[in-house]
Structure 1
Amino acid sequence: MTRVALEDQAVPATRDAVWEGLRAFNEAQSGPGSFASTPLNVVLRDESGAPVGGLIGRSYSGWLYVELFHLPEAQRRAGLGREMLSMAEREAAARGCIGVRLETYSFQAPGFYARMGYTVVGRLDDCPPGHTRFSLAKRLDGAPLEAP
């Protein structure tokens, strides 16, 4: 018997089952392998080699999706963010990605991404209340981001 259950625990097997079903459906529409996912990490390490920040993402469907990007306050405004994002963009292009997409909040780094050539493609006001969540994208292949 099929049933619906509300669960508040992150169970890898559940996520995998949902992802595999969705991936199979998507690839039936867009072609085999079009949703194959490959991790891409640019890691900032301290003198001992411990990670202290970085960019965590994955390439799939012809785009790099930046899931997480953090630099410690003491490391900001020294060019490291630009270096790390540029490194991820170069690797994405080498993987055949046509662009990069990511999300940021109004209290995070929308100005940084604008200086890096990213365009706001969506926004959600009051997420969290009093702030805005932006979806941004940048084409790496020279094509316009939006159709004329």
Structure 2
Amino acid sequence: MTARHSPGPTLTTGDRDTELNERLTAELVAFNTAATDAADRDMFSVKVTDEAGRLIGGLAAWTWGGLCGIEMLWVREDDRKDGWGSRILDAAEAEARRRGCDRVTVSSFTFQAPGFYQRHGYAETGRTLGFPGGHADVHMYKSLTSRLGPSGEA
């Protein structure tokens, strides 16, 4: 009798694998849906362009089970003084409410814009330390049902 040997599991490391990312996302969404009974995960964006069609700024976010998560918000440097960040954030919060969300979360590196979010009513909930240059990732949360203004007063 001949023993048959099959190779064992293979572990590989390399550049980003798009197919793997899609599979992992699908598997985790299925797991999360089963664990939370919330299957309404969806993505949305807010985009501002100038008269020539060039990007002024934008935001990418997701919604899931009444929570909105802001992944990215960026405004072109020469347009930051014009209030586009606030208008984009306000539009995203309005869209989150329209989609049934009552809370929102975001994180921002200490060298980016945690103060911006705090001025818009976001409260720090924690930090991840150890980023290059001695920086941290600041995690923030805001209730969309609160009647407080951007600076926290009623």
TM-score normalised by L of structure 2: 0.82
The aligned runs of 1:72-83 (5 Å cut-off) are 72-83=76-87
1:112 Cα deviation after fit? 0.9
1:66 corresponds to which of 60, 64, 70: 70
Question: Percent identical across equivalent pairs?
Answer: 32
Secondary structure of the structure 2 residue equivalent to 1:129? helix
1:28 corresponds in structure 2 to 34
CA contact under 8 A between 2:62 and 2:69: conserved in structure 1? yes
Letter in 2 for 1:26: N
Tell me which moved more, 104-113 or 134-143.
134-143
CA contact under 8 A between 2:57 and 2:84: conserved in structure 1? no
1:5 pairs with 2:12: yes
**Size of the alignment, in residue pairs?**
140
Unaligned runs of 5+ in 2: 1-7, 148-154
Unaligned runs of 5+ in 1: 144-148
1:37 Cα deviation after fit? 2.6
The aligned runs of 1:102-141 (5 Å cut-off) are 102-141=106-145
RMSD: 1.8
1:9 Cα deviation after fit? 2.1
1:39 Cα deviation after fit? 1.9
Distance 1:36 1:2 in 2: 35
1:91 Cα deviation after fit? 0.7
1:90 corresponds in structure 2 to 94
Distance 2:17 2:89 in 1: 29
Cα 1:10–1:48, aligned 2, differ >3 Å: closer, same or farther? Answer: farther
Distance 2:123 2:97 in 1: 18
1:111 Cα deviation after fit? 1.1
Letter in 1 for 2:105: R
Tell me which moved more, 56-65 or 107-116.
56-65
TM-score normalised by L of structure 1: 0.85
CA contact under 8 A between 2:122 and 2:140: conserved in structure 1? yes
- Work out which of the two has the higher radius of gyration on C-alpha atoms and give 1 or 2: 2
Distance 1:7 1:35 in 2: 32
Distance 2:41 2:87 in 1: 24
Secondary structure of the structure 2 residue equivalent to 1:83? helix
Deviations 1:88-118 (A, max 9, x none): 0011011011211111111111111111000
